[in-house]
Structure 1
Amino acid sequence: MPEDAELSLESGRSTVIHSIDLTHPDLSMRSGHLKMGGMNPQGIEISATSRFLTINGRPWLPVMGEFHFSRYPQEGWRTELLKMKAGGIGIVATYIFWIHHEEAEGEWDWSGQRDLRRFVMECGDAGLLAYPRIGPWAHGECRNGGFPDWLLKKCGGAVRQDAEPYLSYVRRLYTQIARQLEGLLWKDGGAVIGVQLENELIHGADHIRTLKRLAQEAGMEVPLYTMTGWGPAEVPQDEVIPLFGGYPDAFWVRQVEDWARECRRQYVFSPGRNDDLIGEDLLPRREVGDLSYLERYPYLTCELGGGMQVSYHRRPFIAPDDVAAPLITKLGSGSNLPGYYMYHGGTNPAGKYTTLQESQATGYPNDLPVLSYDFQAPLGEFGQIRGQYHALRLVHLFLQDFGEDLAPLPANFPERLPSSLDDCETLRWAVRSDGRRGLIFFNNYQRVEGLPDKPGVQILLRLKEENLILPSEPVTIRQGAAMFWPFHFDLDGIQLKYATAQPVCRLKMEDGYCFVFARRGGVEAEFAFSDGVKARTAAGVELTVRGGCLRGLPPGEWVLIRDERGQSARILLLDEEQALHCWKARIWGAERLFLSPAGLIFDGEELRLHARTPEELTFAVFPPIPDPSGQGGMEGCFQRFTLRQSWRNVEVACRRVRLAAPARAVPVGPAGVAQASEDEAFDRGEVWEVTLPEEALEGWREVYLRVDYVGDVARAYVNGRLVVDHFYNGQVWEIGLRRFAPEVLKHGLRLVFLPLRADAPIYLAPEHRPNFEGRSEVLEVRRITAQGEVEKVFQAGVWA
């Protein structure tokens, strides 16, 4: 049968059998050649092969998320780190921006939110590993890429290379960092498992080698050393692992007419690791040439876009699936470390002498907000939970439980791939398999344009020992679907031939395992076994298994599967809504699955719920827990607890005190793109005063001011101090108020808005670009409201 065989059925429907040859997968692997690896005092060794990371020699597929400690208040670190852990993050990456710590030469500041040592300790206490990106140059949309102004004055252009006096200053920086991390490295029993050297340096293999030596001489002996690999970069052989990335859009590209075409690459399966678009505004172009050297290194990422920052000239609006779908394509293409930039947004700290954002005025290509570095990340600038946090968590749970099985499986691609980035008709799929078992990955989602339904799909897997066609009847891969299906999947001794449901996690129970699956993409869940398998529900109802296929599983109820040998396992199917509200943790003496629309934090024996509406104050748990208060009720196999309480609104008083003067003509800056307004422009902006009652924060974990407006730029001041700013992109502007208390309660906020000109050379998503209706500019403050978020604690079967 040819690669894509189209068959006509008697019913008049047609089916396309998409086939792939898995009889000779590339299982080659090198180990022991990379100059890295290390053991902690407990005897746990972290290392790497050419395919994957390892723990004690076993494959390891962790998840890494970036959170900049110096861009978030210290008192909030623990809660935010626990949110990251609940979201499935295992490693926290963080930049060390040199200018944040030595803005004036010789005056080091590692205090407050700049306290690297405290942050790494908090990571360890939360059960997370840490991965500092130690520079010296970082970028991260920081002023000078993180270099202090005085360094550039002293070294001129002789930076980021083996030159003096630059290297002498780098030695001093690395010594400072090493002191902060003393006793916190993996070899000491600490959380730091590796460091990234430099960033986006593509012509500097010798310099990277020097930086590694300097880091080690300073005391930073860690299992893993990495660098960014895009460009593609020159890599000092076997000294570091090059890491890659990819973003759903790019604020840095020069064009303002449309979304960046090359970003379509994130929505296709491909063996290529390099993304030419990352750093396009800063990096010199390099001929791609022979990339076979990458076969020496595992395919790991450090910059999968968890969202996208806005610049003044380009302001993408990111939807949850814009972020979730590339995770599927990267995993299906062979990546063995999802590493997000950013996973958590933040706010630039105040500088002593200057503001600390990237700008054209400092010789960089883009103008960024002075303070806001929200990045539209899964967790926002003020800790807000966004939709991609839930969508990503669903896959992270799988990687936590089955990453060891996935990591050794090579990526395999069908002969027929999309013919170009504009091909929306060809089915996008790939298979991770060793020729016997594996996962089929599908993506039918693409940002902005969308992809049409793919009807009549069946898959033919040519395996080493058989040909496997699935599912039993053709299905439609719907627009927006991004998912994976297992085949020859071990269910605690029972062989699952295949399933058209996505595996989520497994729960270790007293009498075996319960395997959790989720319906995805509107496809009916079908589980195929060998003949002789029987199935019954928890209530004892026997289910029909026809030809080894089990369908119609009730969502939210476990089903017991038993084969002819007496082997048994439970399957628990979730519907699509349940899946996005699914959490897993070891708490109250067992592994448990939770369903809740609230934000959940697992803190020791406490379950903490963060909710903005009373309807969110509920959770269901499986297996059930002791219920001394009798508050829990059963829903299928889940035990439901709901807190019913009165809910009050947060009232704010708003009044406009000044109309905006006509907007200035938007100039083109030295980098050839629109240049942001100077501070003086805000003296002519529209001003709104917002006041809050003294008790506005009482009873709330956080109160968010929500500003729905259309315009160019907005700023918020408290008692004359700029506290946060915003470039309009269609997103409601949210400001967490608690960090500004008690000042904000006494003085309120002063919001200043600038109009958006119709002729401004600025990219906005079409659905968020205002209709100017013949006007030369637009400014409309639609609504200013406040929304409270509560925290409720559940412990020992009762609400605290």
Structure 2
Amino acid sequence: MTPEHGPKAPQSLPSLPSLPSPATTPAQTTTPAQTTTSSQTAARSALPRPNRSVRVPPTDPATRLTFLGDGDGHDRSDRIEVTTRFLERGGRPWFPVTGEVHYSRIPRDRWSEVLGHARAGGLDTVATYVFWQAHEPTPGDYRWDGDLDLRAFVELAAHHGLDVVVRIGPWAHGEARHGGFPDWLVDRGLRTRTDDPEYLDLVQAFYSQTIRQLDGLTHADGGPVVGAQIENELYDQPAHLATLRRTAEDLGLHLPVWTATGWGGAQLPGTLLPVYSAYADGFWEESSTGWPEFAAIHFRYSEVRDDLTVGADLREALDQITVGGEVPASDRGMLPFVTCELGGGMHVAYHRRPLVGAQDVAALALAKIGSGSVWQGYYMYAGGTQRVGPHGTEQESQATGYPNDVPTRSYDFYAPVGEHGQIRLHHHLLRRQHLWLADEGVRLAAMATTVGGGSEDPAELRWSVRSDGRSGYLFLTTYQPPAHPVEAQPGVQVTVDLDGTEVTVPARPVDLPAGLSLVWPLRYALTPDLELRSATAQVLARLDDVVVLAATDGVDVELVLDGAVEVGGAAVGQRTGGGLGADSTVVTLTEPPGPRCVVDLPGVRVLVLDDASASRLYRLGVAGRDRLVLSDAPVYAEDGALVVHTTGSETTVSLLPAPGALAVAGGEGALSRAASADGRGADDPWETWILSVLGAGPHRLLTDLCPEAVASPPERGGPMGRLSAPTDWAGAARVRVDVPVELVEGTDRALLRVDWTGDVGRAWVGDHLVSDHFWHGRVWDVDLTPWREEIVVHGVVLELLPWVAETGVRVDPSVVPGGDGLEIRSVDVVRVARTVLAPRP
């Protein structure tokens, strides 16, 4: 008997049937996939590439699916419904953007910061697990206080303008001990995750307590809770999943959207909307596996929604279920393509430690939009820390019947917002996509997808079109993770037939460097009277009479306008015809893209940002209205003010339109307005301030240490015999780090940053294990802030085990150490300052 199920005979799940999809169209590819040698590929790449062309068919109408939602209770102004092709809100298509944030794994005093950054990152929804083990540690003893206050978390999300999807289990996984089940439940030996009456009685009690916390907070009551996910990764119990939804509804939970995970060929009842996943790598693979075979499809455009490999090790190890056969090209095609677990990063296990990068995350996400996704859901969006419960730490482990040992405390996941609030590059890269979706999601959600080209052949152009029949977007990618790149694409030019009008982009073929993931507009309305026929720049945002585009490094910006148009500012226009249309104006920039590159057109200004500036752009509510914000440091808005988190001594913040005057209203730092002497000219549309924070940033404590340590013999365990995390620390090196009190006082957050190479590390403050780290090529951050007083007495003790190559642990080839041993390159305290900038009356 497994911890989650009663005994079962080994079985396999059938592949899903292939269904016709109203949201996708069979691929039209001008370059057939084929196997080539490297010399053939090089020779072919040197030849001129043909113009790719596709005719976009009319879109099929959407039909409302009332059986997937219930009890919305709203009038048409904000009613949420599910259709065959997309979600609707207030009678219009809705393209939600959701990120996973686990309230129970984040200190309550950090919730507002994390939710603020999530909203500033372009999310409109957060999803969160309700871990049963956390809320009922002993039978009948329910806890909803402190970090477990689900109601307070939901209310705070609403304060930040975020809706909520509750993942109410009862089984969650989430790398939690027993998948989130309490130990006392596992010990009873019930047929869990089935309709066993004794199990359902316990589920009903847990659901009742959970739903009580949400009283008055559902969408029907005008609250933020818009949906619920039932269970997680349950593949073969559709009747039980249907029972769980009925149980929640009978207890009073009425929501417009009900979902269940659909990957792995899951068998779902018709009353639950299947949601999908896509990861760039997986810690659940074997240590002998290189880049997993499943990952490649997620970096090109495809009608395939399912991934049979996510969670496959648990299916096999816990339930003796295997999934065979190929995934159909258009599975569950009569339902909208919804995602809930696009990898926002990746966790690590002892035996396998992927190095998923920020560009990997952003490229995968955009590829899913180009493949027809109408709901972007990220797992994780914010990392956290594993809880400690009555039976110890609450992470999954081989000791609790799982194939993998994961860190006992850290659940950082290399998420866009890290375990301790670190803001990472993919927070900015994803925000660029989310800004666009905030403006264009209404149109994009209703657009059908046509996969134009792209196969496993790394030399073939990968592209697709999303269109409503008259306008749309062209998606192009030359990106795969750096260890498995695809080729640059010379001479790219695509013609799209939109309602009988051919749009060719670009006007002259362009060479696309490797490593790009792009989306270009087709027949985009700048004003009711002015159309951007095409552009080799990406739409970012629009505000008032300003449309913001983002240039791409290595690709010249070309804008093509319909008709004869007067062009001014940072560009010139040239009339042309032919393939561009009978009467068009080609716009060429006269100065480099950047914050001052403004093209003046009739009734609109087009701001063309360079790639770096595009990643600094926000759209935030400041001083009573939405404004564009360019910031060097992470920033979010709250109550009309800007909250800036900086690790630099000087940060610039620019706003458009300017709010008049800003002042420091809380936290650290001094603010001054940038003067014209700093380079601001009359043509600069931004108002800029300089924030100075003395002492913010890194402060070096130690450097260049090679302490002696002896590794414990490797062991294997768990149901799949994988490498086990060490339990013998007798030979570990112990390095005491004394932290000057002035480095942890007087700042919002202080992180101990350890740049090291080894195997496993633990950080102690006195008798408290405050952090652990499976080394995988990135620095190790430890939050010192909760331990300010204890650190003065005890310091921080790093307990470190050395790297031993023959153990067989997999890390990314790009970071494999040159030899065995232990090295500490540096130990810093990074002071993270928090400053509130408010409009001055």
Among 208, 211, 215, which residue is 1:178 paired with? 211
Q: 1:287 to 1:549 in 2, by over 3 A?
A: same
The aligned runs of 1:148-297 (5 Å cut-off) are: 148-156=182-190, 158-237=191-270, 239-283=271-315, 284-287=321-324, 294-297=332-335
Among 592, 596, 604, which residue is 2:631 paired with? 596
Secondary structure in 1 aligned to 2:439? helix
Secondary structure in 1 aligned to 2:826? strand
CA separation in 2, counterparts of 1:293 and 1:14? 37
Secondary structure in 2 aligned to 1:559? strand
Deviation at 1:235, TM superposition (A): 1.8
Among 530, 535, 538, which residue is 1:502 paired with? 538
Structure 1 residues 261-270 or 332-341, which shifts more? 261-270
1:569 match: 604
Q: Deviations over 1:503-527 (max 9, x none)?
A: 001102xxxx211100025211111
Q: 1:542 to 1:126 in 2, by over 3 A?
A: closer
User: Conserved in 2, the CA contact under 8 Å of 1:355 and 1:370?
Assistant: yes
1:368 match: 406
2:740 match: 693
1:486 match: 521
Q: 1:24 to 1:665 in 2, by over 3 A?
A: same
Runs ≥4 in structure 1, deviation > 6 angstroms?
289-293, 655-658
The aligned runs of 1:391-470 (5 Å cut-off) are: 391-414=429-452, 416-418=453-455, 420=456, 423-447=457-481, 448-470=483-505
CA separation in 2, counterparts of 1:742 and 1:206? 54
Among 667, 676, 679, which residue is 2:724 paired with? 676
Q: Deviations over 1:523-571 (max 9, x none)?
A: 111111123111112xxx7733342100115432332212xxxxx2221
Q: Deviations over 1:703-733 (max 9, x none)?
A: 1111011111000111111111000000010
Does residue 790 (structure 1) correspond to residue 827 (structure 2)? The answer is no
User: Conserved in 1, the CA contact under 8 Å of 2:398 and 2:404?
Assistant: yes
Q: 1:46 to 1:200 in 2, by over 3 A?
A: same
Does residue 723 (structure 1) correspond to residue 770 (structure 2)? The answer is yes
Deviation at 1:290, TM superposition (A): 6.4
Does residue 549 (structure 1) correspond to residue 549 (structure 2)? The answer is no
Deviation at 1:650, TM superposition (A): 6.3
Secondary structure in 2 aligned to 1:682? coil
Q: Deviations over 1:337-390 (max 9, x none)?
A: 110000000001111123211111111111010011000000101010111111
Secondary structure in 2 aligned to 1:723? strand
Does residue 761 (structure 1) correspond to residue 808 (structure 2)? The answer is yes
Secondary structure in 1 aligned to 2:556? coil
Among 712, 720, 740, which residue is 1:664 paired with? 712
CA separation in 2, counterparts of 1:397 and 1:119? 25
CA separation in 2, counterparts of 1:734 and 1:13? 47
Q: 1:33 to 1:595 in 2, by over 3 A?
A: same
CA separation in 1, counterparts of 2:47 and 2:563? 28
Secondary structure in 2 aligned to 1:134? strand
User: Conserved in 2, the CA contact under 8 Å of 1:19 and 1:462?
Assistant: no
User: Conserved in 2, the CA contact under 8 Å of 1:481 and 1:521?
Assistant: no
CA separation in 2, counterparts of 1:93 and 1:124? 13
Deviation at 1:651, TM superposition (A): 5.2
2:12 match: none
The aligned runs of 1:24-35 (5 Å cut-off) are: 24-35=57-68
CA separation in 2, counterparts of 1:290 and 1:326? 20
User: Conserved in 1, the CA contact under 8 Å of 2:620 and 2:636?
Assistant: no
Secondary structure in 2 aligned to 1:331? helix
Secondary structure in 2 aligned to 1:684? coil
User: Conserved in 2, the CA contact under 8 Å of 1:694 and 1:746?
Assistant: no
Structure 1 residues 495-504 or 696-705, which shifts more? 696-705
Secondary structure in 2 aligned to 1:83? helix
Deviation at 1:3, TM superposition (A): 2.6
Deviation at 1:452, TM superposition (A): 2.1
Q: Deviations over 1:178-226 (max 9, x none)?
A: 1111111111221111100000011111111100001111221111100
Among 342, 345, 362, which residue is 2:383 paired with? 345
Q: Deviations over 1:216-255 (max 9, x none)?
A: 1122111110000001111211x11100010010000124
User: Conserved in 2, the CA contact under 8 Å of 1:517 and 1:571?
Assistant: yes
Q: 1:232 to 1:401 in 2, by over 3 A?
A: same
Secondary structure in 1 aligned to 2:716? coil
CA separation in 2, counterparts of 1:213 and 1:771? 57
2:106 match: 72
Q: 1:408 to 1:361 in 2, by over 3 A?
A: same
Secondary structure in 1 aligned to 2:112? helix
Secondary structure in 2 aligned to 1:193? strand
The aligned runs of 1:628-639 (5 Å cut-off) are: 631-633=673-675, 634=680, 636-639=684-687
1:640 match: 688
AA at the equivalent of 1:733: W
CA separation in 1, counterparts of 2:706 and 2:506? 64
Task: Give the share of equivalent positions with the same residue, in percent.
Answer: 36
Secondary structure in 1 aligned to 2:505? strand
Q: 1:753 to 1:552 in 2, by over 3 A?
A: same
User: Conserved in 1, the CA contact under 8 Å of 2:423 and 2:634?
Assistant: yes
Deviation at 1:613, TM superposition (A): 1.3
CA separation in 2, counterparts of 1:733 and 1:628? 36
Structure 1 residues 381-390 or 568-577, which shifts more? 568-577
1:88 match: 122
AA at the equivalent of 1:545: Q
Q: 1:689 to 1:62 in 2, by over 3 A?
A: same
Structure 2, unmatched stretches of 5+, are: 1-27, 33-44, 316-320, 577-584, 664-671
CA separation in 2, counterparts of 1:65 and 1:609? 21
Structure 1 residues 177-186 or 138-147, which shifts more? 177-186
TM-score, normalised to structure 1, is 0.92
Secondary structure in 1 aligned to 2:169? coil
Q: 1:484 to 1:667 in 2, by over 3 A?
A: same
1:9 match: none
AA at the equivalent of 1:258: G
Deviation at 1:92, TM superposition (A): 0.6
AA at the equivalent of 1:93: A
CA separation in 1, counterparts of 2:69 and 2:520? 35
2:751 match: 704
Structure 1, unmatched stretches of 5+, are: 6-11, 563-567
AA at the equivalent of 1:607: L
CA separation in 2, counterparts of 1:628 and 1:80? 24
User: Conserved in 2, the CA contact under 8 Å of 1:63 and 1:90?
Assistant: yes
User: Conserved in 2, the CA contact under 8 Å of 1:137 and 1:199?
Assistant: yes
AA at the equivalent of 2:546: C
Q: 1:32 to 1:247 in 2, by over 3 A?
A: closer
Deviation at 1:631, TM superposition (A): 2.0
TM-score, normalised to structure 2, is 0.88
Deviation at 1:645, TM superposition (A): 5.0
User: Number of matched residues?
Assistant: 768
The aligned runs of 1:369-388 (5 Å cut-off) are: 369-388=407-426
User: Conserved in 2, the CA contact under 8 Å of 1:155 and 1:165?
Assistant: no
AA at the equivalent of 1:543: V
Deviation at 1:21, TM superposition (A): 2.6
Structure 1 residues 270-279 or 445-454, which shifts more? 445-454
Secondary structure in 2 aligned to 1:429? strand
Q: 1:649 to 1:35 in 2, by over 3 A?
A: closer
CA separation in 2, counterparts of 1:656 and 1:16? 52
CA separation in 1, counterparts of 2:363 and 2:748? 32
Does residue 51 (structure 1) correspond to residue 85 (structure 2)? The answer is yes
